[in-house]
Chain A
């Protein structure tokens, strides 16, 4: 079994390697494949309940509420919270104007105080049971308060990437934003205004890992890490050139067009490496920027199983088989 069983293994492994200095979050759209209104006996709700139970075992610090997650109704989401899943949304309000979920969660890494704010897509669902207000309307009040009491603000934006880019553009207090755009694959972290923005692709196929060195200063590049990357690329270009230049006879003529651009790349990379090495010599001990590294881990079937989660999946399959016979 891959999927959530594999996710549990991956989270455990990383947790052991990082000695617990980590935050575990999900930006939403985890319970359902699509928006709709599913009855409590439907296969979709049976599956959603199993996912909620599994999520309660994965040690999340915060999980945002996506438009798809509302397809089983607010009551299913409140059951999910009761199970122990820390659902977070600052802009979903009930018919009396009270917040339905915790607007943010606090967590601590050593002395670093972190606020995780959830925002749901106001365009996603219309219901008489709840109202989703515009993200900007709630964040304009919430973020100045959090800024005073937290060192870092992480936004879980259960909304499309362009809307997330627009939202973070209004709020320089947001340091990191994780989106949940169903139409996007993995998005390599990029700087949007002053925030670092990223997301993983759909169907839970990847686990995103962002390793952060935070000093409260704006995001920037780590010279050492950039140098390592450039040197790897130069090595690869040199290898390709070496192979092309060793081709003999008629085939060598057809490879000539490939050699020139590779030589240009080699010259450019060498120059970049030289510039960075010069810059490194003049750097002082303390860095002027906060830095990060990232990778996306594919959650493939490796054969390693999590017995507790596999039991939940097996039971769910039995329930679905019974539901199919009815």
Chain B
């Protein structure tokens, strides 16, 4: 039973082109962090 399940999983991997045994995280991820602090109760600070 176990072997049949393993075989099915591997065949599914081949169809989808990925592997359940490999990490899903891509090697590099690009993103931006927008950050602020100490707005200090200012609605309209102008530099």
Contact = CB atoms under 8 A, between A and B. Distances in A.
Interface stretch (A14-22, A90-98, A276-284): A14-22
Q: Is the interface of A mostly helix, strand, loop or mixed?
A: mixed
A204 B42 contact: yes
A265 interface: no
A204 B25 contact: no
B43 A23 contact: no
Given A201-B38, A214-B29, 5 more contacts: A3-B42, A27-B37, A51-B41, A181-B38, A316-B43
A29 B41 CA distance: 8
Given A22-B32, A212-B30, A179 B37 contact: yes
Interface stretch (A78-86, A105-113, A252-260): A105-113
A272 B32 CA distance: 29
Interface residues of A, number: 70
A112 B25 contact: yes
B26 interface: yes
Q: Is the interface of B mostly helix, strand, loop or mixed?
A: loop
A211 B37 CA distance: 18
B34 A14 contact: yes
A247 interface: no
Interface in B1-47: 24-47
Contacts of A236: none
A298 B39 CA distance: 13
Contact of B42 (A21, A33, A210, A216): A33
B33 A26 contact: no
A51 B39 contact: yes
A176 B32 CA distance: 12
22 contacts: A3-B42, A4-B39, A11-B34, A14-B32, A21-B32, A25-B36, A26-B39, A27-B36, A28-B38, A30-B36, A30-B37, A33-B41, A48-B41, A51-B43, A66-B37, A110-B26, A111-B24, A208-B34, A208-B35, A211-B32, A213-B28, A214-B31
